[in-house]
Amino acid sequence: MTAGTRRVAAIDCGTNSIRLLIADLDDDGRLTDVTRLMRVVRLGQGVDATGRLAPEAIERTRVALVEYAGLVRETGAQAVRMVATSATRDAANRDDFFAMTREVLGAVITGAEAEVISGDEEARLSFTGAVGELDPSRGPFVVVDLGGGSTEVVLGDADGVHAAYSTDIGCVRLTERCLHDDPPTAEQVAAARTFAGEKITEALAHVPVEQARTWVGVAGTMTTIAALANELEEYDPERVHLSTVGFDRLRQVCDGLLAATHDERAALGPMHPGRVDVIGGGAVVTTVLADELARRAGIGELVVSEHDILDGIALSIA
């Protein structure tokens, strides 16, 4: 670590996964990665149906967080910010979750704990992380963060965010609600498309995507789809980052995921085991978005970014 830099740690705890970024933050606001990790803990298991976090889901998250806290200590990070998003916003027993995070993180940095952020702040942090390496002339950008329980849609350019909206639709929530068979029936897929369409239409009523020139997708569903569309034999973040997928190819891959069995999806090289049973819900949301952005803005391709809310959280520590 050089003079003028500060080592920071960002933790993003979502509905499906918990992720860690430890990075060096310089005086000009640039991040240099030290480590990035992701663990699928499915914190949002059953939240849409029960309104509560399952005890076993909290325990899975605790185990991953203990690992992360150890790395924060070992790498000498001077500050940590952990944000919790859709699953905890919705849970009646979220105090149990936050007591756990205070215990684990407080043992590393005094006073550290998770915080619930609004869907609006989640959207803004995602935008900040996603567009930092893109040519500003490609803007305005519409950034979509498709998570497990919610999807954030953000419109902005080099001057910042102009509109943002978070809607309660994501790969876990939609799969649990609609896609019950393996593979799902045509009726289930149709119901999922209808529900996703309603939620995306709700979001786009607040975000004027007609102004956008470039669609940037972040988070695991879209990066996995991009890896599959580009026929990678295994997931390679360097090759995925800032890759593009035309809409015809995008729909082909998404339709294939919905038609495949669990075992067929699991056998795909770029597929993380924790996404196998929920990627179909993400595929539905992705194709609904593609249809709407083609119709409203004339956009014809998806650009995916490996940099997202984690980078935005790390930058916010400054």
CATH of the domain at 196: 3.30.420.150
Are 27 and 163 part of one and the same domain? no
Are 20 and 47 part of one and the same domain? yes
What is the reported pLDDT for 285? 95
Strand, coil or helix: 45: coil
> pLDDT digits over 224-283, tens only?
999 999 999 999 999 999 999 999 999 999 999 999 999 999 999 999 998 999 999 999
d(CA 14, CA 64): 13
Are 196 and 283 part of one and the same domain? yes
- What is the CB-side half-sphere exposure of residue 94 using CA atoms within 13 A? 17
What is the reported pLDDT for 208? 96
d(CA 54, CA 83): 19
Are 280 and 303 part of one and the same domain? yes
Q: In what order do the strands lie in the sheet with 151-157?
A: 160-167, 151-157, 141-146, 214-218, 301-305, 244-246
- Please check whether residue 43 is in contact with residue 55, taking contact to mean a CB–CB distance below 8 angstroms: no
Prior bond of 140 cis (ω within 30°): yes
Q: What angle do CA 201, 128, 118 make, to 5 degrees?
A: 55
Are 233 and 145 part of one and the same domain? yes
**pTM of the full structure:** 0.79
- Phi, psi of 213, deg, nearest 5: -110, -25
Structure tokens at 245: 């997928």
Structure tokens at 133: 């390496």
| Mode of pairing for the β-strands spanning 151-157 and 5-13 | unpaired
The verdict on residue 121 lying in a domain is no
The verdict on residue 168 lying in a domain is yes
Are 68 and 154 part of one and the same domain? no
What is the reported pLDDT for 30? 83
Query: Is residue 1 predicted with pLDDT exceeding 60?
Result: no
Q: Nearest-CA neighbor of 170 among 151, 195, 194?
A: 151
Are 225 and 287 part of one and the same domain? yes
The verdict on residue 242 lying in a domain is yes
CB atoms within 10 A of CB 187: 10
Are 148 and 275 part of one and the same domain? yes
- What is the CB-side half-sphere exposure of residue 147 using CA atoms within 13 A? 31
Are 289 and 148 part of one and the same domain? yes
The verdict on residue 177 lying in a domain is yes
Residues 16-35, mean pLDDT to the nearest whole number: 88
- Residue 31 sits in a domain whose CATH number is 3.30.420.40
> pLDDT digits over 164-173, tens only?
998 888 898 8
**DSSP letters of 153-209?**
EEEEETTEEEEEEEES--HHHHHHHH--SSSPPHHHHHHHHHHHHHHHHHHHTTS-G
Mark which of 116, 136, 158 sits at the end of a domain: 116
Are 174 and 301 part of one and the same domain? yes
CB atoms within 10 A of CB 300: 14
Stretch (H or E) spanning 216: strand 214-218
Please name the residue that has the structure tokens 């699953």: 87
Strand, coil or helix: 289: helix
> pLDDT digits over 36-71, tens only?
998 989 888 887 788 898 999 999 999 999 999 999
Residues 180-193, mean pLDDT to the nearest whole number: 95
Range of the domain at 215: 127-309
Mark which of 63, 96, 116 sits at the end of a domain: 116
Mark which of 68, 94, 116 sits at the end of a domain: 116
> What angle do helix axes 247-259 and 220-229 make, rounded to 10 degrees?
100
Are 132 and 47 part of one and the same domain? no
The verdict on residue 122 lying in a domain is no
The verdict on residue 12 lying in a domain is yes
Share of residues in the chain with pLDDT > 70 (%): 98
Our count of domains for the chain comes to 2
Structure tokens at 126: 């995602």
Residues 132-137, mean pLDDT to the nearest whole number: 87
The verdict on residue 318 lying in a domain is no
Strand, coil or helix: 227: helix
What is the reported pLDDT for 193? 95
Are 106 and 241 part of one and the same domain? no
> Which residues neighbour 315 within 8 Å (Cβ) at sequence distance 6 or greater?
25, 29, 31, 128, 129
**Which has more pLDDT, 194 or 109?**
194
The verdict on residue 315 lying in a domain is no
